[in-house]
Amino acid sequence: MTEPRKPELRIVGGHPALDLVNTVAPRVPGGGAHLEYLESPADLLAWALRIGVVDEASAEAVSAAWQAQPATAGQALRAALDIRESAYTVLSGSGDDIGAALDRLALRWAAAAARSSLVAGGGQVRLVVGTDPALSIPDRLAHAAVELLRTVDAAHLKACPLDEGGCGWLFLDQSRNGSRRWCAMADCGAQAKARKLTARRRASRATSVTP
């Protein structure tokens, strides 16, 4: 008997760090039963390529490094998941361990900085994060998470409403009037509308048959 296929992971966060946070569905404070999209290093590599954390050439280098040193693949996955959960704790403000989460992120960021380099070219100096292929994905994710935490406007950071049937995913609301409520109107928003419509119809039928 084969396991049911996972639904395709939607990319709705508006920032790589938020897309990382949203690799668990539903995203519920405190954990609980959920669907995990990053179950293996292969999942992590495919996801990182999809959202642009690595390009094709970098993905090939990562794959080669992991094949040469299989232990580093597991190390990279564990680091990415640690960054994910630490970032979610801080961004959601859930729990009493925000300070501990920031400390973990700081350690990941410091390690990433130690493996980064400054490169001159074209009259400019640019920062290159992830120079070690084996750990380039978590290094770039740590950098992205810290960048988001430093610059995010809290007014634009929203969560798909769990109490209304949403998935709890985080996203940046870049709509003109700041009215976006759902991670995706075509998904969670449409499902919530359908549930409300069904509930109204049931209530209407119950009223019509009341003696």
Question: What is the count of structural domains for the chain?
Answer: 1
Task: Specify if 69 maps to a domain.
Answer: yes
Report the CATH number at residue 116. 1.10.3300.10
Task: Specify if 160 maps to a domain.
Answer: yes
Task: Specify if 4 maps to a domain.
Answer: no
Task: Specify if 62 maps to a domain.
Answer: yes
- Are 112 and 80 contacting, i.e. CB atoms less than 8 angstroms apart? no
The range of the structural domain enclosing residue 61 comes to: 16-208
Task: Specify if 7 maps to a domain.
Answer: no
Q: Is 5 exposed, middle or buried (0-12, 13-18, 19+ CB in 10 A)?
A: exposed
**What does the pLDDT read at residue 207?**
56
Task: Map tokens 């509308």 to a residue.
Answer: 193
- pLDDT per position as a tens digit, 92-151: 987 678 999 999 999 999 999 999 999 998 889 999 999 999 999 999 999 999 999 999
Model confidence, pTM: 0.87
Task: Specify if 8 maps to a domain.
Answer: no
